[in-house]
Chain A
């Protein structure tokens, strides 16, 4: 039932990775040989509609992004737990089904809590 792990199946992926990185490096290097290079102060200023930039760009930003990241982490880990169950659905049978329904129910309680706490609001 359990399929064997085949580490040698990952060798082509590693090769492909090398080729992809090589493609990026080569296209940038070739570009370097033919493109002009003429930087000066005004050209290198960050774009701000033609006005001299005010302050540093790395200011504070909305905490909402952080909340979304936290929620994502929780739910994504849950999804990772659901995958092996889905693949072995038949073998785990009724026990697995009931177990997972309880698991999803607990997850839903957390989801309803986040909803009521207005963590999903965006204004």
Chain B
């Protein structure tokens, strides 16, 4: 028990450190990728190739004045960014980053914080809690832009969460478990065992829903700057603003991790002769592929209109995910009997 606790503490510290560093450098990476795609160089001034830019941004944000609007609901306004950030961070508790246990300071540690038998349900539950932070923040600001942004965001998040939840069911039928560790282990032995092939429809649905749930372009209507200024965090500044930003990027990493685990085999290598590469590296490569994909989409596609967004979610994605569940269930039953 004591050993378990010590190992949990070690992994928590490691996960938090890696997560926050990744989030900080994702902002840099996003600007670089967008820059190169638009034939610019991106940030170049702070440090070599602008590598210290995230640090400079951090110092700037923490030393900015924290403006609270006079008509705002002060207590809710203060606490809302934290409500958004905490679920985004603690959902990483069930993500398995690698396969093998390792030793650190004489303590045996797992490559995950904990392995609960309802892993995927836990992640989906927390992603809904994050929407409260957005809704409360937009409401408390008492600004028209914030309120409209928050309402849009909440409606969009719940609509697409439904599709994400439905698309997961096919994978659950194949793997027979809700634990992310077991789902990853079920896909070992070469890339043809990955669930992306039997569940290609679910994969596409999950990816689109993931982009919509994290409010990224082309679904970034809650913060559409040309009409809503900055959406639900229009009135936020300084550190509270950056907590919302952290939450958004942590959610992006979360969606990428879940897509990696459910459909791309997590830490499994695609070929047996590539097994010498550590599982952790495979996991990271796949997650970064999805993150790059997010940036790529942002550089490519224009924003949808709100009615198009809702229509697409409820009239195209939902019937598709229903069909996917039905077909998967029948086919899997016929194959196994």
Chain A contact residues, CB within 8 Å of chain B: 3, 5-6, 8-13, 15-17, 19-21, 23-25, 27-28, 30-32, 34-39, 41, 43-48, 53, 56-59, 61, 64-65, 68-69, 71-72, 75-76, 79, 82-83, 86-90, 93-94, 97, 100-101, 104, 108, 111, 115, 120-123
Chain A nearest Cβ from B320, distance in angstroms: 13
Task: Point out the residues of chain B lying under 8 angstroms from A69, CB to CB.
Answer: 155, 158
**Contact pattern, B 264-282, Cβ under 8 Å of A = 1, otherwise 0:** 0000000000000000000
Chain A nearest Cβ from B30, distance in angstroms: 21
CB-contact partner of B243 in A24, A37, A83, A100, under 8 A: A24
Cα separation A120 to B316 with both chains bound (whole Å)? 11
Interchain residue pairs with CB less than 8 A apart (18): A6-B117, A8-B1, A9-B117, A12-B93, A12-B113, A20-B16, A20-B89, A28-B243, A35-B62, A46-B141, A72-B161, A72-B162, A75-B162, A86-B172, A89-B176, A94-B337, A104-B325, A111-B318
Given the interface contacts A13-B90, A24-B86, does A61 sit within 8 Å of B310 by beta carbon? Answer: no
Chain A nearest Cβ from B240, distance in angstroms: 7
B51 within 8 A of A: no
Chain B nearest Cβ from A93, distance in angstroms: 8
Cα separation A111 to B320 with both chains bound (whole Å)? 13
Most chain B CB atoms below 10 A, which of A19, A38, A45, A121: A19
Task: Point out the residues of chain B lying under 8 angstroms from A115, CB to CB.
Answer: 315
B204 within 8 A of A: no
CB-contact partner of B332 in A48, A59, A61, A89, under 8 A: A89
Given the interface contacts A9-B116, A17-B86, A90-B336, does A57 sit within 8 Å of B142 by beta carbon? Answer: yes
B55 within 8 A of A: no
Interface residues of B: mostly helix, strand, loop or mixed? helix
Cα separation A67 to B302 with both chains bound (whole Å)? 28
| Chain B, range 286-337, C-beta contacts under 8 Å to A | 306-307, 310-311, 314-315, 318-319, 322, 325-326, 329-330, 332-333, 336-337
Task: Point out the residues of chain B lying under 8 angstroms from A79, CB to CB.
Answer: 162, 165-166, 169
Additional A-B contact list (18), CB under 8 Å, known A11-B8, A46-B143, A68-B158: A9-B117, A12-B11, A15-B12, A16-B93, A20-B90, A25-B82, A28-B240, A35-B62, A46-B141, A46-B235, A61-B151, A71-B314, A79-B169, A89-B329, A111-B319, A120-B311, A122-B307, A123-B307
Task: Point out the residues of chain A lying under 8 angstroms from B71, CB to CB.
Answer: 46, 56-57
CB-contact partner of A30 in B9, B62, B330, under 8 A: B62
B189 within 8 A of A: no
Most chain B CB atoms below 10 A, which of A8, A24, A41, A82: A24
Cα separation A23 to B12 with both chains bound (whole Å)? 12
Task: Point out the residues of chain B lying under 8 angstroms from A101, CB to CB.
Answer: 326, 329
Cα separation A41 to B89 with both chains bound (whole Å)? 36
